[in-house]
């Protein structure tokens, strides 16, 4: 893998600074008193989501006027589709965890170039864990280089996600499944070697996975959608068919199990 270009490193530094500032802002909101409302079936949003979104949009798009913008909390006008580079943001991934005071939510921001994630930052404001990566430059948590642990088979694995849609074979009875609210945070924990796999078998959106994907990839992990295909970004349809982050061998096993589970 080639080293990141000077431009990508500048963009990465900008991205990291903006996400850190957004994390400080998020912590000023009281999850008990923050205003909240439903924006759709099963979709809750708060003043904290909106404030973080606006801070990130101001910092990132003001500094890079030619880049596109895609965020969960911004109406998509489609202009990004004509841009080679696009910021993809989830202001707070795991809003329900934030509202419950559970330290499993994250601020996520990525830079995508020609459909591939080239830089990403995932910050858990509640724990202070700051994960970041740039293509060709490795992945870090709070400045310490990451290397995914990567169990090679499900029987030996700790999986962050639900086993509900996975038909486990008899030999995988040793697998341990743990719930973590934020998909991006699950993926970052895999990059850090704190778990062997992160799974989301239900449909996601590009902003759920873009930032964490480059972190997992740079830490040596394998990441695909639930069918085993690479994820492409900045598409007209932002749907992602689930996600699996693990070692290459475990990724293949989980893809096969999900395929056989229907």
What are the pLDDT digits (tens) for 20-51? 999 999 999 999 999 999 988 888 999 999 99
Q: What is the mean pLDDT of residues 180-197?
A: 96
Q: How far is it, in rounded angstroms, from Cα 185 to Cα 212?
A: 8
Residue 6, pLDDT above cutoff 60: no
What is the reported pLDDT for 173?
66
pLDDT, position 245: 97
Q: How far apart are CA 247 and CA 11, in angstroms?
A: 28
- Residues 128 and 75: their CA atoms lie apart, in Å, by 30
DSSP string, 130-156: EEEEETTS-EEETTEE------SSGGG
Residues 6+ apart with CB under 8 A from 198: 159, 160, 161, 180, 183, 186, 187, 189, 190, 243, 244, 245, 246
Give me the architecture of the 154-260 domain, per CATH: 3-Layer(aba) Sandwich (3.40)
Helix 183-191, helix 206-218: angle, nearest 10: 0
Q: Is the pLDDT of residue 55 over 90?
A: yes
Q: How confident is the model at residue 3 (pLDDT cuts 50, 70, 90)?
A: very low
Q: b vs e for 170-182, b when ≥16 Cβ sit within 10 Å of the residue's Cβ?
A: eebeebebeebbb
pLDDT at 171: 62
- Give the pLDDT confidence of 131-179 residue by residue, as tens digits: 999 999 999 999 999 999 778 999 889 999 988 777 777 666 678 999 9
What is the structure's pLDDT at 170?
A: 65
CATH class of 6-145: alpha beta
The model's pTM is 0.94
Whether the CB-CB separation of 196 and 156 falls below 8 Å is answered with yes
What is the mean pLDDT of the segment spanning 215-224? 97
Instruction: Give the domain ranges of the chain.
Output: 6-145, 154-260
4 pLDDT exceeds 50? Answer: no
- Angstrom distance (rounded) from CA 123 to CA 136: 21
- The pLDDT > 90 percentage for the chain reads 84
Residue in 179, 176, 182 with CA at minimum distance from that of residue 204: 182
Q: Are strands 68-71 and 85-93 parallel, antiparallel or unpaired?
A: parallel
Asked if residue 181 has pLDDT above 70, the reply is yes
């Amino acid at each position: 893998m080639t080293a990141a270009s000077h431009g990508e490193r500048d963009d990465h530094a900008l991205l990291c600074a903006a996400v850190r500032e957004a994390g400080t802002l998020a912590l000023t909101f009281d999850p008990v008193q923050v205003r909240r409302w439903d924006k759709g079936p099963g979709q809750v949003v708060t003043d904290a989501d909106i404030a973080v979104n606006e801070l990130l949009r101001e910092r990132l798009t003001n500094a890079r006027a030619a880049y596109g913008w895609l965020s969960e909390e911004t109406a998509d006008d489609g202009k990004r589709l004509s841009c080679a580079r696009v910021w993809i943001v989830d202001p707070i991934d795991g809003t329900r965890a934030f509202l419950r005071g559970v330290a499993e939510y994250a601020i996520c921001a990525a830079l995508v170039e020609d459909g591939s994630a080239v830089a990403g930052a995932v910050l858990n404001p509640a724990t202070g864990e700051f994960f970041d990566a740039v293509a060709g430059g490795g992945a870090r948590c709070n400045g310490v280089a990451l290397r995914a642990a990567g169990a090679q088979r499900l029987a030996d694995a700790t999986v962050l996600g639900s086993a509900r849609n996975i038909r486990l074979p008899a030999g995988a009875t040793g697998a341990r499944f743990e719930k973590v609210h934020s998909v991006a945070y699950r993926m970052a924990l895999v990059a850090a070697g704190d778990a062997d796999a992160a799974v989301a078998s239900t449909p996601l959106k590009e902003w759920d996975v873009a930032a964490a994907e480059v972190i997992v990839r740079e830490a040596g992990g394998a990441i695909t959608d639930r069918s085993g295909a690479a994820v492409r970004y900045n598409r007209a349809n932002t749907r992602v068919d689930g996600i699996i982050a693990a070692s290459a061998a475990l990724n293949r096993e989980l893809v096969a199990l999900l395929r056989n589970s229907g």
